[in-house]
Structure formats: structure tokens, C-alpha cells
Amino acid sequence: MTYFPSSLPGGECPNCGFKAWSRSANLASCDSERLNDRIDHRRLVKRNQYLNRAGSKLSSLYVIYSGFLKTSITDDGGREQITGFSMAGELVGLDSIGTGKHQCDTVAIEDSHLCEIAYSDFARLSCDIPSLQHHFHRMMGAEIARDHGIMLLLGAMRAEERIAMFLLNLSIRFSARGYSETQFRLPMARQDIGSYLGMTVETVSRTFSQFNNLRLIAINGRYIEIRDLPQLRQLIGDRGTRDPLPRRAGSGAN
């Protein structure tokens, strides 16, 4: 598979994140230019570096040009829950719109290039440009819908189903970006996958091994090949064959 270029050219990126993003918003070209003028195309975040910290003030929105980020919340007791992984083309920072303060930590899990726009500029523009505003609403709505899906996963699925969903979700997103839908690299640590899916590292690892033995996948460290996409899909919600009752809730010990 191919990778994004590791560095950006001088003044402007050839395929700026916001540009691509605003293409899908169907902006008129003059509006697209106005948006483009306000964007800083060169923000670089290195691996393990924080983009946003929980509690800090919302200042900018970002579209990822290349790389991978994780977003997490931590409660008073120190428990961490990863709420999502973001990849190229995706918008980061929406959780802070409500309060004006970031609710989440956002950290790069690989060196990442971002396109940045000041939230104040964005808000002003979106007042002027209805289709931009509409697209923005779509993004917010999509985030809500996505979160609901994860709530279903966390509240009602067993370990194998969670892993299957996780892999299929990545497959779809890679595929949508022109990469292979069956072979890719998992950029995040097992620990992070576990936090995201509400299970321990060990269970993540064991489930991967199990899928590997069943020839559903071939996994080698962070490189993975999905060998039986249909079966993997069937595994979700296919609780009829192995278990006649719809499953609910948690899991084993805690």
C-alpha cells in the first residue's frame, strides 16, 4: 500500500485536508478560496505529542492530512477511555464546541500533518456560507451517530464482536481513502485498542490470535490481513448460530 508523503510542500498542500473536506461540502469555488485563505496548512504533530489537552480552550479545528490521532477522556479516578481514532480527512476538535473547552485529550499515535483553522474564523465563515454550515452540522451529527454506534458496541457486544467491528470499521475507512480494505497496518497499540473497545490488552491479543487461528485474519504485530471479510461481517449480530438468544451487556469479570 502507499503512504501519504511525509512532508508537505511550501505554501500549500496539494491535497489540503480542508480542501478535500470542503469539496464534500460542495462549496462554490470562491467560498472554497475564502476558506482556504484562513487555513494553516503546515501544522505538524509528532508521535505521542498532544494536539489538545482536556480543559484547554478551544482555539482551532483541524482536518488531518496524514497520520493518525487518538482522542480520550479521563475521569477523576484516572480511568481513561479512548473515544476514537482519527485518520486522514477527518475533522478533530468537535467535542469542545459545546463548552468552548476541550473535553478530551488528543494525541498523535504517529507523526501527523494537520490543516488548522481558527475556530473564530470558521464560525464567521460558516455564518456567511450556508453550505459550509450545513456540512459542519452534518459532521457534528455524524459524530453523534458514530458515538451511538460505539455505545451499542460497548454496551451490548462480546469481545469477538467488538474486535470484528473494529477491524471492519478500519477496513471501510482505509478503503474509502483508496487503500486496501483487506491489508493494512494498525497504527495504535493493543493497549489503545483495548481502551477503545472496553477490554483488556490480553483479551484484545487473545481475540486476534483466535481470529488468526480461524483463518479470519492473518496478523503479524501491527500488520494485518483480513482473509475472510464476509465471515467477519457475519460474526457481528450473527448470534443466532452459536447462541439463540440476543446478548446483552457487559462481559466477564471486571
Write down the least CB distance from residue 219 to a second copy, Å: 21
**How many residues in the shown chain lie near DNA by CB under 7 A?**
29
Q: Dihedrals φ, ψ of 238, to 5°?
A: -90, 50
Phi-psi region of 93 (alpha: psi -120 to 50; beta: other; left: phi over 0): left
User: Comparing C-alpha atoms, which of 131, 121, 92 is closest to residue 108?
Assistant: 92
| Cβ-based nearer residue to a second copy, 179 or 192 | 192
Distance CA 172, CA 164 (A): 12
Tell me which stretch binds a second copy (CB under 8 A): 40-48, 179-187, 206-214, 235-243: 235-243
Write down the least CB distance from residue 174 to a second copy, Å: 21
Residue numbers 141-160 binding DNA by CB under 7 A: 158-160
DSSP 3-state assignment of 168? helix
Task: Assess 252 for contact with a second copy (CB under 8 A).
Answer: yes
Distance CA 228, CA 171 (A): 12
Residue 96: DSSP 8-state: G
The entry of a second copy, DNA, none that residue 130 binds, CB within 5 to 8 Å by partner kind: a second copy
Number of Cα atoms under 13 Å in the Cβ half of residue 197: 28
Residue numbers 21-80 binding a second copy by CB under 8 A: 73, 75-80
Task: Assess 49 for contact with DNA (CB under 7 A).
Answer: no
- For the record, the C-alpha cell of 132 comes out as 459550509
Residue numbers 182-221 binding a second copy by CB under 8 A: 194-200, 203
Distance CA 68, CA 93 (A): 14
Work out which of 5, 149, 180, 215 binds a second copy, going by CB under 8 A.
149
Write down the least CB distance from residue 184 to DNA, Å: 14
Distance CA 240, CA 246 (A): 8
| Cβ-based nearer residue to a second copy, 74 or 180 | 74
Work out which of 42, 185, 190, 233 binds DNA, going by CB under 7 A.
190
Which residues of this protein are in contact with DNA, per CB under 7 A?
Answer: 158-160, 189-191, 198-206, 208-209, 219, 221-222, 245, 247-254
